[in-house]
Amino acid sequence: MNEGEFEFVLSRTFDAPRDLMWKAWTEAERLKEWFGPKGMPIFSCDLNLRVGGVFLYGMRQPNGVEFWGRWIFREITEPEQLVFVVSFSDDRGNIARHPWNTEWPLEILSTVTFEENENSTTVTVRWVPINATDIERKTFEQGRDSMRQGWTGTLDKLDDYLKKSE
């Protein structure tokens, strides 16, 4: 199987203009307000929006446990698309294993598109493991329900943020 066969896709339409949606995904202060699972606020956020640039963030679970993640930007096509590699990391941005599942892929290629409609924007998130072992690809495939749940909660937070930003 090739890596494209493992693609995870989720779309959602928001009652918000595309320019606001773009800013929500590309400005650090806005990302801090909504990105990540419910109940896990971002406490550290550094964003360098350029090809090769990094979004490095730290999140805190309700029990106080902290973890880090990063995006490395591959393509930035304002305001239509972002392409970046997602990984868990340490606080310096070095790639790290998933804190709860050591068989999760180290790298996920993420493509986020922003389709402008008359008075709304459809966001589509595509994830595919890259440079993954067979076990990592299998773990990714088995994690679809968890990814859908996680992204649904994250996009709920984005929707709440957008409603406050209007």
The domain limits of the chain are 3-38+76-87+94-165
pLDDT in tens, 33-43: 999 988 899 99
Confirm if 119 and 20 have CB atoms less than 8 A apart. Answer: no
pLDDT for position 1: 42
Q: Is the pLDDT of residue 123 over 90?
A: yes
CA distances to 7, 72, 79, 145 from 52, rounded to whole Å, are 23, 6, 18, 31
pLDDT for position 38: 87
**Amino acid in position 147:** M
pLDDT for position 147: 95
Residue 19 parent element (H or E): helix 18-26
* Mean per-residue pLDDT over the chain, rounded: 94
What percent of the chain shows pLDDT beyond 90? 91
Query: Which among 113, 116, 121, 118 is positioned nearest to 16, based on CA atoms?
Result: 121
Question: Cβ neighbours of residue 71 under 8 Å, at least 6 residues apart?
Answer: 54, 55, 84, 85, 86, 110
Q: What is the pTM of this model?
A: 0.94
Query: Which among 147, 41, 138, 29 is positioned nearest to 86, based on CA atoms?
Result: 147
Residue 71 parent element (H or E): strand 66-77
d(CA 57, CA 49): 14
Q: Is the pLDDT of residue 162 over 90?
A: yes
Model confidence at 119, in pLDDT bands (50, 70, 90)?
Answer: confident
Q: Is the pLDDT of residue 108 over 50?
A: yes
Q: Indicate the CATH number for domain 3-38+76-87+94-165.
A: 3.30.530.20
pLDDT in tens, 45-97: 999 999 999 999 999 999 999 999 999 999 999 999 999 999 999 999 999 99
pLDDT for position 3: 45
pLDDT for position 4: 53
